[in-house]
Amino acid sequence: MNPGHRPGMAQRKSKALGFTLIEISVTVAVIGVLAAAAWPSQLASLQRARRIDAIAALTRVQIAQEQYRARYGVYSAQLTALTGASAARSPEGLYQLAVLDANGENVTLSARARDDGPQRSDTDCRELTLRLSQGLADIGPSGRCWNR
């Protein structure tokens, strides 16, 4: 037997494979911090992407309103009077459509996020409006809400 040799020494010299609990804990903490920082940005991106549903719906109603105006000389106060735009919801069902104000020469259309849908938390652009006047359109609440 070797005098410098002690039982179990060979086991201590071998490299252990795997990760220590501290390494795993640090990795999980770093991932958690990165995820917490990225999550709000991800939600904002999803909200902006879902606004396309409202924009598509209002554009469809705008076309139907202009066709109605070309035929009857005034804008319609009722969505049901419009061909191709009778649905009170946006194509994906995220927004409720309505005519807010109509006097024949002008009409204001609205696409409001449904209370039971994922866009309800879109506080900045919960309701998009489109005002039509003599063939001209004005968007609301701001152009930022309409940017894709």
Confirm whether 10 is domain-assigned.
Answer: no
pLDDT class of 84 with cuts at 50, 70, 90: low
**Would residue 11 count as lying in a domain?**
no
**pLDDT given at position 96:** 94
pLDDT at 144 over 80: yes
12 pLDDT more than 80: no
**Does residue 7 lie within any of the structural domains?**
no
Tokens of 45: 């991106």
Tell me, yes or no, whether 58 lies in a domain.
yes
Tally of domains in the chain:
1
Note the pLDDT tens digit of each residue in 90-107.
Answer: 989 999 999 998 888 999
Does residue 4 lie in a domain region? no
Question: Residue 111 is part of which domain span?
Answer: 22-146
CATH code of the domain covering residue 123? 3.30.700
Of 8-22, 39-53, 61-75, 84-98, the least confident: 8-22
